[in-house]
Structure 1
Amino acid sequence: MTSRTPIPDTVTLYVPFRVVKRGGRKEMQLPDGAEQPRRTNNTLVKALARAFRWKQMLESCEFITIAELAEREGIAPSYMTRVMRLTLLAPDIVEALLDGKQGPDVTLASLLDPFPLAWAAQPEYFGRTV
């Protein structure tokens, strides 16, 4: 623009994005290839913290069985065992989840599905999403 070019009254800017629901909240997701801001998923962090806390409580013999601990926590033993499975994730995957480096399709529900126990097989199983 030169000094003689008139300044337009309205400027339209197009930003391609879509709105997705994550954890009951709506988030803006940019297209592939765009730099995504890193945000930790509080639901995932809370589940990891619970899993490791429960594991420690069982290992310290504070509680003898998962059923006893689940009753104390007021949750179903089956849910507790699924969440405690998160303690079997490879350390680099746990670190990626805590740093918010997981993909938009990684949810607590997807992590609670059965996954390979071998750490070497987990990156391939989870792919680029974690």
Structure 2
Amino acid sequence: MTRATPIPDTVTIHVPFRIIKRGGRKEMQLPADVPTQRRPDNALVKALARAFRWKRMLESGEVTTIAELAEREGIAVSYVTRLLRLTLLAPDIVEAILDGRQGPEVTLARLIEPFPLEWQAQGALDNKQ
């Protein structure tokens, strides 16, 4: 704009995005062609950390059963078993979650549901990698 051009009273900026739910909160998602710097999903990172810690506790003999582990942690046995399943995720999916590169469809709610044990078949969990 030059000095001769009047400044408009209103400027409208169009930013295409959609609202998605992640970990119980709402998040803006930009279109796929817009480069963004993602942050790791804290709920997923915490769930992975718990799962791998519990796996170490079981393997080391610190606890002998999942029921003992659940009682010690003060949570339901079924939840412990669902989270322990996360230790079976393919390393590239775990790395993507820790780096915040997982797709928006990779949520804790989706990952605690049964998924294929074969790493190659797990690629369908995260189509955006």
Equivalence for 1:72: 72
- The normalised TM-score by structure 2 is 0.90
Alignment RMSD: 1.5
- Matched-pair identity in %: 71
Does the Cα contact within 8 Å between 1:106 and 1:129 map onto a contact in 2? no
Distance across 1 between alignment mates of 2:42 and 2:61: 29
Residue ranges of structure 2 left out of the alignment (5+ in a row):
none
Q: 1:63 deviation in Å?
A: 0.6
Distance in 1 of aligned mates of 2:14 and 2:66? 53
Cα distance between partner residues in 2 of 1:62 and 1:5: 75
**Aligned counterparts of 1:19 and 1:89: Cα–Cα separation in 2:** 27
Q: What is the distance in 2 between the residues matched to 1:78 and 1:42?
A: 22
Which position in structure 2 is the counterpart of 1:55?
Answer: 55
Deviation, 1:41, is 0.4
Change beyond 3 A, Cα 1:93–1:74: same
Distance in structure 1 (CA, Å) of the matches to 2:25 and 2:109: 15
**Structure 1 CA distance for aligned equivalents of residues 114 and 24 of structure 2:** 23
Aligned partner of 2:125 in structure 1 is 126
Equivalent residue number for residue 39 of structure 2? 39
Q: How does 1:1-130 map to 2 (within 5 A)?
A: 1-123=1-123, 125-129=124-128
Please give the alpha-carbon distance, in whole angstroms, between the structure 1 residues aligned to 2:2 and 2:77: 71
Offset at 1:27? Answer: 1.2
Deviation digits for residues 19-77 of structure 1 (CA, Å, limit 9, x no counterpart): 22222222111123222331110000000000000000001100111111111111111
Q: Which runs of 5 or more structure 1 residues have no equivalent in the other structure?
A: none
